[in-house]
Each structure stands twice: as C-alpha cells, then as structure tokens.
C-alpha cells in the first residue's frame, strides 16, 4: 500500500544494496493487507517522515555480522561492478540504517526489525536485525516481535519462499497491531 488509509499507520524503512531487503520490505507491507496503512520507504528517501507512525519496521542487509558501514557499502558497490556476479546496486543517497539509528529517532514507540543475511547459521553471519532491535530498544522503543531474518543465496538473491515468509510475517505483525501489543 502507498500512503495511509487506516487508523494504524506503519512505516517500513529499509536499506538495500542488491534488492533483496527492498523485496522483503515490500512483501511485509503487502502481507499487512488492509488491516493497516503501510508504506515502504528506502532509508535514503526517509527525510523527516515517520513522526506519526504507530509502528516502524526497520530492515537492513547483514554486513560483517551486523549493520552495514560506509566501508561495507563501498565494497558492495565494487562487487556490483563484476559482470559475472550479476549484481545490480540499488539507488542510494546518504547513509544507511546504522547512521540513521545514530541520529536517535526517539519518536519510534513500537518497532519490529528484520534483515537479510546469507543462508548460514547465524553464529557465522551475525544479524543486522538483532543490532537494529537492540538500538531501538535502547532508545525506548518496544519491540512487537523478535528480530527476523530472511535468507539470501551466494548471489544475494532471496531463497525460494522468503518473500512468502515475509508476507506471512507482515500479516502476523498486523494482527499484533490489532491487539495493541
């Protein structure tokens, strides 16, 4: 959904390098259905929006066991230059989720966090979602669900059924909003 049409307003804000995290953000919003008014915004396009949202769902790719840094984003851009990788870099402006969280968005009252990460045990990959959840909780926000990871293959493409899982998670989050967690 684009824009707000219901009393429950949800902002899904994401950082994406090769498109997988954007696809998950869009699937989460779609899964929320008409129960809430969900809008999806790339972190570079966020600006000053969001102060009136009932919940903010924040997502990012996992880089080096956590949130991306300027150096890891530069490295991702280098990977996209290699033709055999078949990677296409998402348009970006400004910093990522890490930098945004450092700006201390204290207007976030309730949140959920997700990431995309390699299809390996979390002990080896880390989780950007866990880092997002910790930082937002430290700022006084309350999580409505555990951090959630969606998996990508070695080519940074979503594994089969991950978008379906994201839609289901979005529906679950919408149901939780209906009960005012």
Q: What is the pLDDT of residues 40-60, one digit of tens each?
A: 999 988 876 556 788 999 999
Q: What is the model's pLDDT at position 51? A: 63
Q: When comparing pLDDT for 85 and 109, which is higher? A: 109
Q: Give the whole-angstrom CA distance, residue 83 versus residue 76.
A: 13
Q: What is the model's pLDDT at position 5? A: 40
Q: What is the model's pLDDT at position 19? A: 86
Contact 116, 83 (CB under 8 A): no
Q: What is the model's pLDDT at position 176? A: 84
In the predicted model, what is the mean pLDDT of the chain?
83
Q: When comparing pLDDT for 147 and 5, which is higher? A: 147
Q: When comparing pLDDT for 126 and 67, which is higher? A: 126
Q: Give the whole-angstrom CA distance, residue 161 versus residue 31.
A: 14
**Mean pLDDT within 17-28:** 93
> pTM (2 decimals)?
0.85
Burial of 24-57, coded b for 16+ CB within 10 Å and e otherwise, reads: bbbbbbbbbeebbbbbbebbbebeeebeebbbbb
Please report, for the chain, the start and end positions of each structural domain, with discontinuous segments joined by +.
Answer: 9-178
Residue 71, pLDDT above cutoff 80: no
Residue 66, pLDDT above cutoff 90: no
Q: Give the whole-angstrom CA distance, residue 59 versus residue 67.
A: 10
Fold of 9-178: Rossmann fold (3.40.50)
Q: What is the model's pLDDT at position 59? A: 95
pLDDT in tens, 139-172: 999 999 999 999 999 888 899 999 999 999 999 9
Q: Give the whole-angstrom CA distance, residue 56 versus residue 109.
A: 8
């Amino acid at each position: 959904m684009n824009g707000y049409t219901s009393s429950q307003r949800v902002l899904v804000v994401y950082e994406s390098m090769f498109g997988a995290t954007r696809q998950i953000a869009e699937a989460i919003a779609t899964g929320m259905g008409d129960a809430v008014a969900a809008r999806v915004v790339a972190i570079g396009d966020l600006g000053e929006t969001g102060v009136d949202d009932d919940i903010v769902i924040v997502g990012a790719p996992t880089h080096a066991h956590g949130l991306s840094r300027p150096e890891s984003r530069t490295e991702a851009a280098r990977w996209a230059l290699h033709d055999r990788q078949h990677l296409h870099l998402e348009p970006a402006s400004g910093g990522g989720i890490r930098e945004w969280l450092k700006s201390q968005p204290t207007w976030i009252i309730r949140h959920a966090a997700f990431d995309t990460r390699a299809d390996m045990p979390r002990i080896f990959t880390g989780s950007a979602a866990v880092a997002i959840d910790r930082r937002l909780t430290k700022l006084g926000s309350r999580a409505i669900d555990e951090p959630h990871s969606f998996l990508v293959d070695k080519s940074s493409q979503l594994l089969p059924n991950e978008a379906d899982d994201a839609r289901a998670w979005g529906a679950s989050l919408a149901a939780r909003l209906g009960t005012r967690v």
